[in-house]
Amino acid sequence: MEAHELLQSWRDTIQQSTGPLYKGIVQALALSVQQGVLKEGDRLPTQRLIASVLGTNLTTVTRAFREAHQIGLVDATAGRGTFIRIGAATRQWQATRTSIVDMTMNLPPVPNLPSLATSMQTDFQNLFKSQSMSSLMSYRVTGGTYDERYQGAKWIEPLIGSRRPDDIVVTSGAQTALAAALSVLASPGDIILTEKMTYPGLRTVASQLGILLVGVDGDEQGFLPSALEEACQTYCPKAIYCTPTIQNPTTITLPFSRRQSLVKIAHDAGIYIIEDDPYSLLLDNPIPALASLERGRVIYIATLAKVLSPGLRTAYVALPNPEIHQRFVAAVRAFSLTNAGLLSALTLRWMQTGQAKTILAGIKSEFRLRQSVARNILGDRPGMDPNGPHIWLHLPSSWNSSDFVAYAHHRGLSLLPSSVFSVSGSSPANVRISLGGIHAINDLEKAMKDVLTLLRYNRADNKTPIV
């Protein structure tokens, strides 16, 4: 079929479809594949020609092609064009439902507290009564008020020990704190050591600042001390970044002996540690933080996004000395100026009234329930911390990470491939499954059963790449 004839048939399909135009283009493309009009390996018309014939813009067609790639219909090769993907016409790759269950974000589930919505309404009313509107709607003090820093110190005291309010800085989330910490400790071209699989936000910040990341070998207990020592000698890094408790994505928690080794290695190398600790408060008896072992060597970051709500946009940062403190506050001022007044006031009130601890208890209970549901369906596997927000799922030998994520997307599940977290080396056959974003437990059970179905699908006789 000639290109213009093909695209005219697409126009007819698009006119009968509902929803955004780019979705209609994808539906028309899929129908052409299903009817055999387009066959595996066929080259598609150029995006400019498609836009011209369909009477739309190039951006819409580009978005449609991106969607078609994500659901496994097409492949694109630079300089050659876009082709119907091998396997695109195979029935088992067709989506079985239109909605996508998103399990890509590590969000805390909304706890089952009937009074929470009412409490929030009451808290905001009391804030408006006790504080002037101009104060709530104005710029705040960079780094937090004394009361905010005092409550922050109390919040993280069970993890790092007693700190003065002057040692604490309140930032608008952990990402701001991480950007400030890297900018203070390193310059473009400098090296930061981290786990080989690490938090994607670190990669984003490092790339933006021109800082290089080097992944260090580890085992089921985290960093290998010998590998960390060798990396310090080889690369002369400016700092070590790590998440010692329920590491993202591997779920590894460093035992106390490894924490002692890590702190000693950093001390001997004369470098700082950036300790990202979003999850320790999900545990009843967390292992002492690195910042409690040598406070003069560690920038400690504890966000509320994973234990209360990302909507609060609040993180507490404990800093090791006055010089770092001064430079860190200057960096925070440059990146975000101040926290949001309304959210800061609500967070402070929750800390003062004990509501924050009530919400934390509800989220801990909910995460444990969700991990139990996952374990009952998937079985007891590595990468499943009973207190954690996610699963680091190891795949059967017939799968690689990207193909499994593409297959899952066709089946209505959105997961994260290991490549998102990889700093160096090849990406393992793992995917991260976040458990907090699904609202209802029944929906989570359905999603876990779907994951199990995907794991049981045998690709041994068909290893055609999907992505």
Single-letter amino acid, residue 188: P
Single-letter amino acid, residue 346: L
What is the residue-averaged pLDDT of the chain? 90
Residues of the chain with CATH 3.90.1150.10: 101-111+358-456
Phi, psi angle pair for 28, to nearest 5°: -65, -40
| Strand partners of residue 317 | 169, 301
Q: Where are the beta strands (DSSP E) in 285-355?
A: 298-303, 315-318
Rounded CA gap, 328 and 331, in Å? 5
Contact 415, 103 (CB under 8 A): yes
The answer, yes or no, to whether residue 379 has pLDDT greater than 70, is yes
Fold observed for domain 139-353: Aspartate Aminotransferase; domain 2 (3.40.640)
Q: Are strands 101-102 and 413-414 parallel, antiparallel or unpaired?
A: parallel
Q: What pLDDT shows up at residue 92? A: 41
The pLDDT tens digits for 434-457 are 999 998 999 999 999 999 999 988
Q: Domain 101-111+358-456 carries which CATH code?
A: 3.90.1150.10
Residues of the chain with CATH 3.40.640.10: 139-353
Single-letter amino acid, residue 434: S
The pLDDT tens digits for 214-260 are 999 999 999 999 999 999 999 999 999 999 999 999 999 999 999 99
Q: What pLDDT shows up at residue 171? A: 97
Q: What pLDDT shows up at residue 89? A: 63
Burial 127-162 (b: 16+ CB within 10 A, else e): beeeeeeeebeeebebbbbeebbbbbbbbbeebbee
Three-class secondary structure of residue 314 per DSSP:
coil
The answer, yes or no, to whether residue 168 has pLDDT greater than 80, is yes
Q: What pLDDT shows up at residue 464? A: 45
The reply to whether the predicted model has a pTM over 0.75 is yes
Q: Which helix (H) or strand (E) covers residue 355, if one does?
A: helix 355-378
Residue 314: pLDDT band with limits 50, 70, 90: very high
Q: What pLDDT shows up at residue 119? A: 79
Rounded CA gap, 304 and 281, in Å? 10
Q: What is the dihedral of CA 109, 111, 115, 117, to 10 degrees?
A: -10
The pLDDT tens digits for 52-100 are 888 888 888 888 888 888 777 888 766 678 888 766 665 443 444 445 8
Q: What pLDDT shows up at residue 11? A: 83
Contact 161, 301 (CB under 8 A): no
CA 173 from centre of chain: 13
The answer, yes or no, to whether residue 357 has pLDDT greater than 60, is yes
The answer, yes or no, to whether residue 111 has pLDDT greater than 50, is yes
Q: Which helix (H) or strand (E) covers residue 346, if one does?
A: helix 341-353
Q: Which carries the bigger pLDDT value, residue 33 or residue 270?
A: 270
Q: Which carries the bigger pLDDT value, residue 49 or residue 36?
A: 49
For 99, the token pair is 């909605």
CA 438 from centre of chain: 15
Rounded CA gap, 35 and 89, in Å? 9
> What DSSP assignment string belongs to 173-196?
SHHHHHHHHHHHH--TT-EEEEES
CA 461 from centre of chain: 34
Residue 467: pLDDT band with limits 50, 70, 90: very low
Cβ neighbours for 45, distance < 8 A, ≥ 6 positions apart: 3, 6, 7, 53
Sign of the CA dihedral running 75, 77, 83, 85? negative
For tokens 């940062």, what's the residue? 317
The answer, yes or no, to whether residue 290 has pLDDT greater than 50, is yes
Name the CATH code of domain 3-89 (choices 3.40.50.300, 1.10.8.10, 1.10.1200.10, 1.10.10.10). 1.10.10.10
